Amino acid sequence: IAGITQAPTSQILAAGRRMTLRCTQDMRHNAMYWYRQDLGLGLRLIHYSNTAGTTGKGEVPDGYSVSRANTDDFPLTLASAVPSQTSVYFCASSGTGTDTQYFGPGTRLTVL
């Protein structure tokens, strides 16, 4: 693989269910990010990680958790999904916190 992959591509989920969105990069980037994109609101940062073993909260972290056990993987977990979490989720990575961010293809999540 080259770049960033995300899985699944799309998912329909019942409210209250737990869901993990996967993100893997092979560029050895230190920093990784999770965004959600809703119509008219642009990209909003959920959580980020500047390096393996560290994570931080973004603009809209409530209801989401992340982990960064190694350089390549940065999963995003919804502990108990709610309909307001219906969105397109993008994972991104960059060499450092100020470098160009490169995006994965996105996961379209619908919570019913």
Partner 1 sequence: GQNIDQPTEMTATEGAIVQINCTYQTSGFNGLFWYQQHAGEAPTFLSYNVLDGLEEKGRFSSFLSRSKGYSYLLLKELQMKDSASYLCAVIDSNYQLIWGAGTKLIIKP
Contacts of 38 (CB under 8 A, 6+ apart): 44, 87, 88
Q: For residues 26-55, which are near partner 1 according to CB under 8 A?
A: 40-45
Q: For residues 63-92, which are near partner 1 according to CB under 8 A?
A: 90
The tokens for 15 are 């409210």
Of residues 21, 47, 9, 28, the one with CA closest to residue 102:
28
Pick from 9, 14, 62, 100: which binds partner 1 (CB under 8 A)? 100
53 conformational bin, left if phi > 0, alpha if psi -120 to 50, beta if neither: left
Pick from 27, 72, 73, 102: which binds partner 1 (CB under 8 A)? 102
Nearer to partner 1, 83 or 97 (CB): 97
Residues found near partner 1 in the complex (CB under 8 A): 40-45, 58, 90, 97-98, 100-106
